[in-house]
Amino acid sequence: MTEITTGTETSKPATRLKVPSTAQQIPRLAHYQMRQYLQSRRFLALVVIVVAIGAIFSAVVAIYHSSFITSDSVSFYGGSWAGGVGVVIVLAAVFFGGDAIAGEFQNKTGYFLMSVPIRRATVYAGKFLAAFLTSVAIITIFFAIVLGNGIYYFGASAFPWQLFFSLPIVILYLLAVLGTTFLFSSLFKTSAYGFVLTIILFLFGFTILQDLVAILIKIEPWMVISYASGILSDLFSSPINWGLTATLGPVPAYDSPGIAEGVVIMLGYFILTAIAGLLLFEREEFK
């Protein structure tokens, strides 16, 4: 039966809501996305993993007092911080970026989010920002554990300058890894593919590729991100190659890029993967 409506019960005021600008929506979306991450089991799981890694590391150092770690603070921070943070970055990027885009399609949450007047680029940027900040929180936990050990063994005044110099490189490497993770997440509509591909590539795939390029093709593997990540450890070695060219190892292998070269590679990865991922997401349909 068609209901006959008589008159207006309540009329909406003539003023319309003003949708926030893109610049306002990005941090707002990131805020809610971060809240989801922080309330999720995966965040708790990653905290437990990082704390466990830190606890095992602390126990091993305390029990065995390996000389290469405890001889001086530069070696200590080079071995513990620079040696371990790469794995933490990859884990954080996979945990928080692996399904950031694919999950919206796979779990059908995209229909909820995209029913809001928001640009796809805003969604991409907001989610990226949330994944980045949450990853930084995880890295901070790892940093605190390393720092605690460092202070215990070398005191609160023995922080090598390399430790502080490594922080922006860590952030840049995180951006590059997250950019790649988001690209894979945009490429597949199934989260698992993105997860697996990122893990395989960053934990050993890129390293194998790097060696194959250097040994078989006999060129510097500047196009491989794992090669660039070598600058994190190189910062703590001596002498430091600051340049834009690689340090040659026993021919035909390449030891590692110069610091500047590594930074350029990481920056390139971040920019290119972020643009490619965004373009893919812009064209993806919620079928």
Partner 1 sequence: MMNKPNIEIVSLTKKFGSFKALDNLDLQIEGTKCVGFLGPNGAGKTTALKLLTDMIFPTKGECFINGISVQKERKLALADAGLLIESPEIYPSLTPYEGLEMVADLRGVPPREIKDRISEVLAEVKMESWADKKIGEFSKGMKQRINIAASLVHDPDVVILDEPATGLDPRGMAEVREIVRKLKKRNRLIFMSSHILQEVTEVCDEVALINKGKLLFYDTLGNVIDKFSDGHSSVDVGFAEPVNEALINRGLSAISGVTSSEVLDPKRVRLRFKGGTETQKKLLEEIVGLHIGVVSFSEPSSTLEDIYMKQIERGD
Query: To the nearest whole angstrom, how small is the minimum distance from the Cβ of residue 39 to partner 1?
Result: 4
Give the span between the Cα atoms of 69 and 57, in whole angstroms: 11
110 binds partner 1 (CB under 8 A): yes
Give the span between the Cα atoms of 245 and 254, in whole angstroms: 11
- Which residue number, 2 or 157, has a Cβ lying nearer to partner 1? 2
Which tokens sit at 277? Answer: 């991922």
Please, which of residues 156-195 interact with partner 1 by CB under 8 A? none
Query: To the nearest whole angstrom, how small is the minimum distance from the Cβ of residue 6 to partner 1?
Result: 9
Please, which of residues 14-43 interact with partner 1 by CB under 8 A? 14, 16-20, 25, 28-29, 32, 35-36, 39-40
Could you tell me where the beta strands, DSSP code E, fall in the chain? 247-248, 254-256
Q: Which of 118, 178, 201, 214 binds partner 1 (CB under 8 A)?
A: 118
Give the span between the Cα atoms of 262 and 226, in whole angstroms: 10
Return the CA Rg of the chain.
23
1 binds partner 1 (CB under 8 A): yes
Tell me, by CB under 8 A, how many residues bind partner 1. 38
285 binds partner 1 (CB under 8 A): yes
Query: To the nearest whole angstrom, how small is the minimum distance from the Cβ of residue 103 to partner 1?
Result: 9
How far is CA 46 from each of CA 145, 150, 283, rounded to the nearest angstrom?
14, 23, 32
107 binds partner 1 (CB under 8 A): yes
How far is CA 179 from each of CA 18, 64, 160, 225, rounded to the nearest angstrom?
32, 39, 30, 11
Give the span between the Cα atoms of 52 and 141, in whole angstroms: 11
10 binds partner 1 (CB under 8 A): yes
- Eight-state DSSP code of residue 238: S
How far is CA 283 from each of CA 6, 130, 137, 185, rounded to the nearest angstrom?
46, 22, 32, 14
Query: To the nearest whole angstrom, how small is the minimum distance from the Cβ of residue 90 to partner 1?
Result: 23
Q: Which of 67, 115, 157, 238 binds partner 1 (CB under 8 A)?
A: 115
The residue range among 222-230, 233-241, 267-275, 279-287 that interacts with partner 1, by the rule CB under 8 A, is 279-287
Q: Which of 52, 55, 62, 114 binds partner 1 (CB under 8 A)?
A: 114
- Crossing angle of helices 120-154/22-39, nearest 10°? 50
- Which residue number, 5 or 67, has a Cβ lying nearer to partner 1? 5
111 binds partner 1 (CB under 8 A): yes
Query: To the nearest whole angstrom, how small is the minimum distance from the Cβ of residue 108 to partner 1?
Result: 4
233 binds partner 1 (CB under 8 A): no
Give the span between the Cα atoms of 226 and 86, in whole angstroms: 9
- Which residue number, 5 or 238, has a Cβ lying nearer to partner 1? 5
Give the span between the Cα atoms of 95 and 119, in whole angstroms: 24
Question: Which residues in this chain contact partner 1 in the complex, by CB under 8 A?
Answer: 1-3, 5, 8-12, 14, 16-20, 25, 28-29, 32, 35-36, 39-40, 107-112, 114-119, 285-287
